[in-house]
Amino acid sequence: MRRLLFKAAAVALVLPLAACSTKGGAETNSTGVTDKEITLGVMADLSGPFKSLSTAITQGNELWAKDVNAAGGVCGRQIKLETVDHGYKADTAKTLYPQIEPKVLGFVQLTGSPVMAALGKNIEADKVTTTPASWSSELLNNPYAMIVGTTYDIEMIDGLSYLQEKGMLADGDSVGHIYVDGEYGANGLRGSKYYAEQHKLQLHDVKITSTDTDLTNVVTGLKGQGVKVILLTTTPKQTGSAAAANKALGLNVPILSNNPAFDPALLKSPAASALDKLYIVASTVPFSADIPKAKEIAQKYAAAGYKEPPNAGTPYGYAVGEVWGTVLKKACENKDLTRDGIHKAMQQTTSADTGDLVAALNFGTPGAPATRQVYVAQPDASAPGGTKYVQPLFEAEAAKAYKAPHEGQ
């Protein structure tokens, strides 16, 4: 026994001296790029609370990669996606990141605000350009965050302008804003606060957490305050509860929500009949949008044989791919397919075209959202994907004047 122990000890002592061929090779700057392939990362939530959205985005990413590769790839190289599932858990993501990071040139998807918060510093240190599937302008303090679409604060400002223009809201009115505590909600609230100040609205804000789902008591309180409009920066379940309470309590005011607050599944819930007052503001098109590119994607989606019901994540995921395609092409022209090169190419991209899946994007101003244009949609059970437009792309005056938190820094 004793001899065995000594042997083990001796072996263990010698091991480090014989170190170590597998580890410690100097990191090259051309990570994720070979002569034949460009590898892009996807850190998705395929099993957690945002599974539905993230799966659809991933499918959009895949459809794009397939199309690009069929057309000969970018810069003479095929696009390869490296996908991992973190299940919306920051601790899981934190261990997965060092595993996937050395393999990829950039991330076309990084879902989850806690995940983005946990990895923000790494992304900056590793200079890896990343598209978060989170649209908070707070994230723009990270120069490597490439947000495709507008941000929650601007969605709110544009949406409130729309309601006022349509006569559903007047200066001096009382307005309630229910928001989820965290980066998502805080950013939406930033927008409504800005607009409320400009238009002397009395804003009653209520902070809730992402797992609260019964908002009856909150809406009861808002009714007592005599609100004319309810704003929602919430999860889909919470949107359902607020809408149902709005109707049940006889309040019946218009409801304005950010894009992630709606999920087509609501149309099959008991809240379905209460959704007629809901207006959704978004910068990416609904799945069934009446534009050629969206129709094309819907067809490809059907052809690809995915089993999940579609949602707006798919055209968005495809649009992100298109933006990446533009950036990669620019980097190719600059003959610099390194991470630094990608970042430079992103800043040179002042009008990425996605066939109107998203408004034209300008990544030229650090800290500023890439667009301030939005659509307004309403739930519609008859449309695949669950929504129909009521207002095509527009940008409100108030949104033009608004300064995002990290703009011009």
Partner 1 sequence: MTTFLQLMLNGLGKGAVFALLALGFVVIFKATEVVNFAHGSLVLFGGYLVLVTKDTVGWAAAAVIGIVSAGLLALAVERLLLARSRHADPFSLALLTIGVDVIITEEVVRRLGVSLPFIGDAWDAKPLQFAGVTLFRTHLVALGVAAVLITAFFLAFRYTTWGIALRAQAENPEAAALVGIRRSRVTASAWLIAGLLAGVAVLFIATQDFSGAGLSRGTHSIALAAFPAAIIGGLDSTAGAIVGGLAVGLVDALSTEYISFAFAKSAVFLVMLVVLVVRPAGLFGTRETTRV
Partner 2 sequence: MSKLLWIPVAVVLLALPLYLDASWLKAGQYMMIGAVGAIGLTLLSGQAGQLSLAHGFFLLVGATSYSVLSGTDDDLVGLGLNPLLALIGAVAISALAGVAFAPVAGRVRGIYLGVASLALVFLGLYLGQAAGSLTGGTSTGRAPATFELFGFSFSNEGTLIVAGVPLRGTERLWYLFLILLALSYWLAKGAVGTRIGRSWRAVRDNEAAATAMGVDVRRTKAGVFAVSSAYAGLAGVMIVLWFDILKPDENEFGTYGINTSIAFLAMAIIGGLGSIPGAVAGAVVVYGLPQLLTLYSTDLGWFTGSVTPVLVSSFVYGAAIVLVVLFEPGGLAAIGRRIKELRS
Binding residues for partner 1 (CB under 8 A): 51-52, 181, 206-209, 211-218, 220-221, 223-224, 236-238, 240-241, 244-245, 248-250, 263, 265-266, 268-271, 273-274
Which residue pairs, CB below 8 angstroms and at least 24 apart, start in 328-335? 328/38, 328/74, 328/75, 329/74, 329/75, 331/75, 332/74, 332/75
90 touches which of partner 2, partner 1, none (CB within 5 to 8 A by kind)?
A: partner 2
At closest approach, how far in Å is the CB of 208 from partner 1?
5
- In the complex with partner 1, which residue's Cβ is closer, 272 or 390? 272
Residue type, 26: A
Question: Is the distance from CB of 84 to CB of 43 less than 8 angstroms?
Answer: yes
Provide the pairing of β-strand 255-257 with 37-44.
unpaired
At closest approach, how far in Å is the CB of 20 from partner 2?
5
Q: How far apart are CA 96 and CA 88, in angstroms?
A: 12
17 touches which of partner 1, partner 2, none (CB within 5 to 8 A by kind)?
A: partner 2
Residue type, 194: Y
- In the complex with partner 1, which residue's Cβ is closer, 32 or 240? 240
At closest approach, how far in Å is the CB of 358 from partner 2?
25
Residues of this chain that interact with partner 2 (CB under 8 A) are 1-2, 5-6, 8-9, 11-13, 15-17, 19-20, 22-24, 47, 84-85, 87, 89-92, 94-100, 114, 117-118, 120-122, 125, 138, 180-183, 185-187, 207, 209-212
At closest approach, how far in Å is the CB of 273 from partner 1?
8
Could you say which DSSP state residue 299 is in? H
Phi, then psi, of 205 in degrees rounded to 5: -100, 140
Reduce the secondary structure of 19-50 to three states and give it as a string: CCCCCCCCCCCCCCECCCEEEEEEEECCCCCC
210 touches which of partner 1, partner 2, none (CB within 5 to 8 A by kind)?
A: partner 2
224 touches which of partner 1, partner 2, none (CB within 5 to 8 A by kind)?
A: partner 1
- In the complex with partner 1, which residue's Cβ is closer, 215 or 399? 215
- In the complex with partner 1, which residue's Cβ is closer, 221 or 392? 221
- Secondary structure (DSSP) of 197-248: HHTT-EEEEEEE-TT----HHHHHHHHHTT-SEEEEES-HHHHHHHHHHHHH
At closest approach, how far in Å is the CB of 46 from partner 1?
11
- In the complex with partner 2, which residue's Cβ is closer, 118 or 160? 118
What's the sign of the alpha-carbon dihedral 311, 314, 317, 318? negative
At closest approach, how far in Å is the CB of 394 from partner 2?
28
